[in-house]
Chains A and B, each alone.
Chain A
Amino acid sequence: MATESEPSPPTRLDPIQPDSAAKLLVVPALVGCLVALTLGLYGRLHSPTGVAVDVIGFSSPATVKAWLASGALLFAVVQFVSSLVMYGKLPWISAPRWIGGLHRWSGRIAFILTVIVAVHCLYALGFESFDARVLAHSIAGCLFFGVFTAKMLSLTRRGTPSWVLPALGGLAFALLVLIWFTSAFWFFSFFGFRR
Chain B
Amino acid sequence: MKIPTPILTLIVGAALAASLLISSMSAVSAKKAALAAASANAGVASGATASQPTAAGTATASAQASSTPSATASGFVIPPHANYDGEVQGDLGSVAVAVHDTFAVAYFCNGSTQEAWFKGAPHDGNLSMTGAGSSKLTMTYALGHARGTVTVDGISHVFSIIAVHKPSGLFESIAVVRGATVKAGWIVLPNGTTQIGSLNPNVNAASSVSQAAPKLNLSTLTATDDGVTLVATPIDAETGSGF
A49 contacts B16, C-beta separation under 8 Å: no
The CA of A59 and the CA of B92, in the complex, are separated in Å by 9
A49 to B, closest residue via Cβ: B28
A26-51 residues at the B interface, CB under 8 angstroms: 48-51
B188 CB to closest chain A CB (Å) equals 23
Determine if A123 and B5 form an interchain contact, defined as CB atoms under 8 angstroms apart: no
Query: Taking the complex as formed, is B62 at the interface, i.e. its CB lies under 8 A from any CB of chain A?
Result: no
Closest to A152 in B: B6
Q: Which residues of A contact B28 (CB under 8 A)?
A: 49, 51-52
Check A153 for interface membership: any CB of B closer than 8 A.
yes
With an 8 A cutoff between CB atoms, is A13 at the interface? no
Total interface residues on A, using CB and 8 Å?
38
Name A's interface SS.
helix
Are A60 and B13 closer than 8 Å at their CB atoms? no
Query: Does B6 lie within 8 Å of A62, measured CB to CB?
Result: no
Query: How close is B147's CB to chain A, nearest CB, in angstroms?
Result: 9
- One digit per residue, 1 when the CB lies within 8 angstroms of any chain A CB and 0 when it does not, for chain B 134-151 equals 100000000000000101
Chain B residues within 8 Å of A119, by CB: 17, 20-21, 24
Q: Is A115 touching B90 in the complex (CB atoms < 8 A)?
A: no
Residues of A contacting B12 with CB < 8 Å?
108, 112
B95-103, B117-125, B153-161, B224-232: which lies at the interface: B153-161
| Inter-chain contact total with CB atoms closer than 8 Å | 86
Q: Quote the shortest CB–CB distance from B67 to chain A (angstroms).
A: 15
Q: Is the CB of A61 within 8 A of B24?
A: no
Q: Quick check: is A11 within 8 A (CB to CB) of the other chain?
A: no
B153 touches A190 (CB 8 A): yes
A152 with B7: CB separation less than 8 A: yes
Complex alpha-carbon distance, A56 and B12, angstroms = 23
- A130 in the interface, Cβ–Cβ < 8 Å? yes
Whether A163 sits at the interface, judged by CB under 8 Å, is no
Determine which of A123, A124, A134, A156 lies in contact with B154 in the assembled complex, contact meaning CB atoms within 8 Å. Answer: A134
Bound form: Cα–Cα A116–B134 in Å: 28
Cβ of B156 to closest chain A Cβ, rounded Å:
6
A62 x B90 contact (CB < 8 A): yes
Is A125 an interface residue, CB under 8 A from the partner?
Answer: yes
Given contacts A108-B9, A112-B16, 19 further A-B contacts (CB under 8 A): A49-B24, A50-B156, A51-B27, A51-B28, A51-B158, A52-B27, A53-B20, A104-B5, A115-B13, A115-B16, A116-B16, A116-B20, A120-B24, A125-B156, A130-B151, A133-B154, A134-B154, A156-B6, A191-B92
